[in-house]
């Protein structure tokens, strides 16, 4: 039993709802409401454009980057917040292939989030230099890291199954052949301990609306290893990544350090909300979060499997091999998830047949986990899912 103390009181969770989808969109931190209000009423309203200086809005991307850095093992000054994760993926791949001009392969796997693959493929086609995006099975990644590979680009925790890649081993393998290593931490940041510096990862990217609770559309982040950043030529050379944005030079000169990965004007209100959301992690040891997350996910798996024979575990059975989510396959997974949601238990669905359940120790409790497991078993045993209303697919699943 972990000694983790829930911070549930810090979140505005609707009465009667069991929320197991913080791996997709974190819930509303109470402090974010007040911070958003203050940013608008006390800063934007009275300060108008002077807020950029008076309220230090311009410093938010780097300050938030440092706060996230503490959760992912990145040293201060090596992480920048901004744009969307897809954009950060583009920046990462563009920088990496340019740093390995003699190599033509970007290696990824078919467990990666499609947007990462789309962004990389689109970029490589635009470059028109004969690059190839090579996509292999997750288990085959290590064997395909060869001297032709410019960069290996992987999502650390698989968005569908929760399977974890061995960050240290794969990064070491990439470095052994002179390739660069890019990690997508969308399902890792705030979910489990990450040691970017210890693994010597070259570039990492992630989002802030999942386990970091920054709200819908919250910005992404990018980290570059400090000893590499001076070699990075930003492909998205926006004015705020310039060395002197307010000199308005006509020629681009990359900014100092990680500031060169900035692009344009930061979304101040969304960043202020994220700043308040990150307070929930103050004083929390990610190892404690991890221990509690394993306790919750183990409980869920054992109770679902004890009560229901018609679902199949899609996540690794070894808790050390999966992130902070558990996925079960069921032939009518979409309808079963809708039936759960109708009962106030919220997870989500990923095609073709995966029901996903995220466990966030900051606010999820063991009782909630048992409640959700019992409800899932009942819905499947009684056929409660088998109603037309539960089968009609909505735009967002
Ligand atoms: C692993 C991963 N990469 C990339 C993305 C795309 O992020 P965004 O929509 O913020 O660009 C997501 C979105 O959920 C994701 O899970």
184 lines ligand 1 (CB under 6 A): yes
- Which of 113, 203, 323 to mutate for ligand 1's pocket (most ligand atoms within 8 Å of CB)? 113
Sheet with 354-358, strands from edge to edge, namely 312-313, 325-329, 354-358, 348-350
- Alpha-carbon span 61 to 219, nearest angstrom: 9
Ligand 1, atom 3, residue with closest C-alpha: 113
pLDDT of residue 245: 98
CA 247 to centroid of ligand 1, rounded, Å: 34
- Alpha-carbon span 155 to 209, nearest angstrom: 16
CA 151 to centroid of ligand 1, rounded, Å: 19
In 3D space, the residue among 130, 96, 51, 108 whose CA is nearest the CA of residue 233 turns out to be 96
- Which of 82, 87, 184, 207 to mutate for ligand 1's pocket (most ligand atoms within 8 Å of CB)? 207
pLDDT of residue 286: 96
CA 115 to centroid of ligand 1, rounded, Å: 6
Strand 203-207 and strand 180-184: the pairing is parallel
CA angle centred on 192, ends 187 and 197, rounded to 5°? 95
pLDDT of residue 1: 53
151 lines ligand 1 (CB under 6 A): no
- Residues 76/197, Cβ–Cβ less than 8 Å: no
- Alpha-carbon span 370 to 372, nearest angstrom: 5
- Which of 21, 25, 85, 356 to mutate for ligand 1's pocket (most ligand atoms within 8 Å of CB)? 85
Residue matched to tokens 């394993």: 294
- Set out the domains of the chain in order of their start, with CATH numbers: 32-281 (3.40.640.10), 285-391 (3.90.1150.10)
Q: Is the dihedral of CA 233, 237, 240, 246 positive or negative?
A: positive
155 lines ligand 1 (CB under 6 A): yes
Whether a cis peptide bond, with omega within 30° of 0, leads into 294 is no
Convert the pLDDT of each residue in 21-70 to its tens digit.
Answer: 999 999 999 999 999 999 999 999 999 999 999 999 999 999 999 999 99
CA 246 to centroid of ligand 1, rounded, Å: 32
pLDDT of residue 397: 81
pLDDT of residue 231: 96
pLDDT of residue 92: 98
pLDDT of residue 2: 63
Dihedral angle, C-alpha 364, 216, 79, 224, nearest 10 °: 100
β-bridge partners, 355: 328, 349
CA angle centred on 242, ends 238 and 247, rounded to 5°? 110
How many Å is the Cα radius of gyration of the chain? 22
In order of 30, 134, 210, 307, the CA distances from 215 in angstroms are 12, 33, 8, 35
Mind telling me the catalytic residues?
A: 113, 184, 209-210, 356
- Alpha-carbon span 367 to 348, nearest angstrom: 20
On the CB side of 374, how many CA atoms lie within 13 Å of its CA?
7
β-bridge partners, 349: 355
pLDDT of residue 396: 86
Residue 235: CB atoms within 10 Å: 16
Residue matched to tokens 């003699």: 102
Strand 79-81 and strand 220-224: the pairing is antiparallel
pLDDT of residue 150: 98
- Give the chain's residues under pLDDT 70: 1-3
């Amino acid at each position: 039993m972990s000694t983790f103390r829930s911070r549930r009181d810090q979140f505005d969770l609707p009465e009667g709802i069991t929320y197991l989808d913080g791996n997709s969109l974190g819930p509303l931190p109470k402090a974010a409401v007040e911070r958003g209000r203050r940013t608008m009423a006390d800063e934007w309203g009275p300060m108008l454009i002077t807020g950029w200086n008076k309220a230090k809005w311009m410093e938010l991307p780097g300050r938030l980057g440092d706060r996230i850095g503490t959760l992912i093992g990145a040293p201060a000054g090596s992480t920048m917040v901004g744009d969307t994760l897809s954009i950060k993926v583009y920046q990462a791949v563009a920088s990496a292939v340019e740093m390995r001009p003699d190599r033509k392969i970007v290696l990824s796997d078919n467990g990666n989030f499609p947007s990462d693959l789309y962004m990389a493929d689109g970029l490589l086609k635009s470059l028109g230099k004969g690059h190839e995006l090579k996509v292999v099975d997750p288990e085959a990644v290590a064997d395909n890291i060869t001297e032709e590979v410019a960069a290996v680009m992987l999502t650390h925790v698989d968005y569908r199954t929760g399977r974890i890649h061995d960050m240290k081993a794969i990064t070491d393998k990439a470095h052994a052949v002179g390739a660069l290593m890019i990690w997508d931490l969308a399902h890792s940041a705030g979910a489990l301990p990450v040691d970017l510096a210890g693994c010597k990862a070259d570039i990492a990217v992630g989002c802030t609306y999942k386990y970091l609770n920054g709200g819908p559309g919250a910005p992404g982040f990018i980290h570059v290893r400090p000893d590499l950043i001076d070699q990075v030529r930003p492909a998205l050379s926006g004015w705020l990544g310039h060395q002197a944005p307010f000199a308005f030079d006509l020629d681009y000169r990359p900014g100092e350090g990680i500031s060169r990965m900035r692009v344009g004007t930061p979304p101040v209100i969304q960043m202020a909300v994220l700043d308040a959301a990150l307070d929930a992690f103050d004083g929390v040891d990610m190892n404690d979060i991890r221990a509690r997350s394993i306790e919750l996910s183990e409980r869920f798996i054992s109770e679902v499997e004890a009560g229901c024979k018609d679902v199949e575990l899609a996540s690794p059975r070894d808790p050390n091999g999966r992130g902070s989510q558990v996925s079960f396959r069921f032939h009518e997974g979409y309808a079963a998830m809708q039936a759960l949601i109708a009962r106030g238990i919220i997870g989500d669905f990923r095609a073709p047949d995966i029901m996903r359940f995220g466990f966030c120790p900051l606010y999820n409790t063991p009782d909630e986990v048992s409640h959700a497991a019992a409800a899932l078993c009942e819905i499947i045993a009684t056929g409660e899912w088998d109603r037309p209303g539960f089968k009609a697919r909505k735009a967002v699943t």
